[in-house]
Amino acid sequence: AEVYTQTRERLNAHLDQPFPVPPSREDSYRNGIWETYSRLSAEARNLVEDYVLAYAVDQDQAYFEKAWEGLASMMSWPSWVHPVHEFMLLDLDGSHTCACFAAAYDLLYDTLSENQRRELEFMVFARGLAHCIGGMQHHFWASRYDSNWCSVCVSNMGLCAMAMLHAEHIHLRTEIRPREAMLGVIRECIERITKFYDGIQNDGSWKEGPGYWNYGIVTSFPFSDALRRLTGGQINLYDHPKLGNTVEFPINCFLPPDRVVNFADCGKHFPGGMAFRKFAQEYGNRAAAHFDRVTTDRRPSIKPAELFWDASDTVPELPSPPHPSAYFPDAGWCVMRGSWEDPDAPVMALKIGATVEPHGHADVGNYIIHAGQRTVVRELGIGRYGDPAEWIFKATHGHNLPLFDGQGQPGERRLVGAVEATEFTGAHDYLRASIAPAYGIDELTVFVRHFLYLRPALFVIIDEIEVTDVTRMESRIHFSGTAETAGASATLVNGKTVVNVRLLTPADAVFLRGRHEGLKPGHADAESLDIEYLKIDTVLNPGPVRFAVAFGIDCDPADVVLKPDSGNITVSGQKQTLSIDAALVSPFENA
């Protein structure tokens, strides 16, 4: 009631205001304001849904008239497809707008005049369902079961088909039998959403990252809810064997207080919100209930599809797994975490995986470091879709990886890294991966990266590299905050978090500075306009070489000792000694 009262006050204040209208195709596509179109079209849809619900609750004619004004405004848009996708018949934006019209049709049905019903039926048919009846196979997204596109478009059109099961006018001037046609669409949507859930990795991970995991998963739930109601519980997609466990993936990507492991095209802010509430409600997941509280303060939603999402019977509980770290081998993501109980505990997240995935980057072997509730070692993040300058965000150049003669990993060809060993104990975490195959460079015969976490506060990255020709290597470490450098040492400061960085080997290597300026990040991210990085810039001679960098969280890594010994590397620090297998038996100093 409190949330609805606040919403009603906002709606009353907007009664005399026009509805948002997205910019023209020329502005939104040619002039690179992709996000403006999406934002304004979403604002218009949300306002319509709010007025529709307000009328259903209060039966205030002013709300009905305002809702219809919004619907009429959207009917006048030249297209519901985003201008960037102008070559498509139906896209994400178009499916959302169709679903908005279907919800309005459903909730306002008894108040709408016959002509108004006819208009809504026609618009949903012409701009959505007409492209689905008889099969969706001609849409690229219909069979992209590894992409959020499939879930969003298919789920929205499934909702439209349910709303139009008894449409009286959809058959006018067509040879369509509405109920039979709508049932065909619903059946296909069930099949495709089931395959989308099949696309969840066996370990629960999602290769697009937690941001697009959230978008795809949470958009599928209104369809699953409606289907369960429509069939009296006979078809329950929540019973899918992979669905209940997948929430562990975004949970383990959490970076306190409100950030997320943001590899690939994932925004930096922790996603989830209502998705966590639904997992808590459906599966009794207490950690999901905890993150529902973190992201929404358990505040009720009054979106029509989410009105009955209530997890108040599930007790929130901080995750308490047997080990605080998490490894998702199917996606190639690993999160080495110091503690769940201490929000200031250090975290190092790393990604192996492939150079090409849905919304992926050429970042095999990339890592970020987060401590004291601040990300210190970072990447560029997400660029603006459709912008020519987006390449730097996706390329190896914007990640914590080396370039060889200026060349990174290919962004247009799918190459994979390989995890070769892992170990997770109370004292340390360790992962070893072969990165060279992801570069596709003939002269790069060996590139093995060792990721080591010595608890409680030390991370070590060891690169073993072998080239067959003289090669210039520039290895980058992007950071947030400020840096002071002195030869082989650097001090990174972000807020109250201090990370002392030391180049352990080669003996003559030093840190230099670099900077990306005037970046155009996605989501108008002011933190990502100008980003600095440390770099090791050197010439490699043919043969093997080893680089090692230690990161001490509020401690000095100067006491870290790295010793090669007949095929092993011995690392000493944090009052412990660990021996790991070397990739190169003869680590000659060739830099």
The full set of domain ranges for the chain reads 201-320, 326-559
In the predicted structure, residue 32 carries a pLDDT above the cut 80: no
Instruction: Cis check for the bond before 456: say yes or no (omega within 30 of 0).
Output: yes
Among the residue ranges 99-113, 157-171, 250-264, the one predicted with the least confidence is 157-171
Task: Please give the full DSSP string across 172-216, using - where no structure is assigned.
Answer: TTS---HHHHHHHHHHHHHHHHHHHHHTS-TTS--TT-HHHHHHH
Instruction: Name every residue whose Cβ is closer than 8 Å to that of residue 223 and which is 6 or more positions away in sequence.
Output: 154, 155, 156, 158, 159, 189, 193, 237
For the chain, give the percent of residues with pLDDT over 90. 86
Among the residue ranges 96-105, 142-151, 489-498, 579-588, the one predicted with the least confidence is 579-588
CB 423 within 8 A of CB 319: no
Task: Kindly report whether the global pTM for this prediction surpasses the value 0.75.
Answer: yes
474-483 pLDDT, tens per residue?
999 999 999 9
Tell me whether strands 374-377 and 402-404 are parallel, antiparallel or unpaired: unpaired
The pLDDT of residue 75: 98
In the predicted structure, residue 30 carries a pLDDT above the cut 80: no
Q: Which residue, among 379, 441, 360, has the nearest Cα to 407 in the 3D structure?
A: 441
The pLDDT of residue 588: 47
The pLDDT of residue 590: 45
For the chain, give the percent of residues with pLDDT over 70. 97
CB 199 within 8 A of CB 145: yes
Residue 183 to residue 227: CA distance in whole angstroms: 12
336-360 pLDDT, tens per residue?
999 999 999 999 999 999 999 999 9
In the predicted structure, residue 417 carries a pLDDT above the cut 60: yes
Task: Break the chain down into helix, strand, coil percent, rounded to 5.
Answer: 35, 25, 40
CB 513 within 8 A of CB 535: yes
The pLDDT of residue 295: 95
Among the residue ranges 162-171, 296-305, 365-374, the one predicted with the least confidence is 162-171
pLDDT band at 586 (very low <50, low <70, confident <90, very high): low
At residue 287, the 3 state secondary structure works out as helix
pLDDT band at 522 (very low <50, low <70, confident <90, very high): confident
**CB-count burial class (<10 Å; 0-12, 13-18, 19+) for 239:** exposed
Of 1.10.10.10, 3.40.50.720, 3.40.50.1370, 2.70.98.70, the CATH number of 326-559 is: 2.70.98.70
Alpha carbon separation from 421 to 429, 433, 452, 459, 583 (Å, rounded): 11, 7, 12, 17, 12
308-331 pLDDT, tens per residue?
999 999 999 999 999 999 999 999
In the predicted structure, residue 591 carries a pLDDT above the cut 50: no
More confident site: 170 or 247:
247
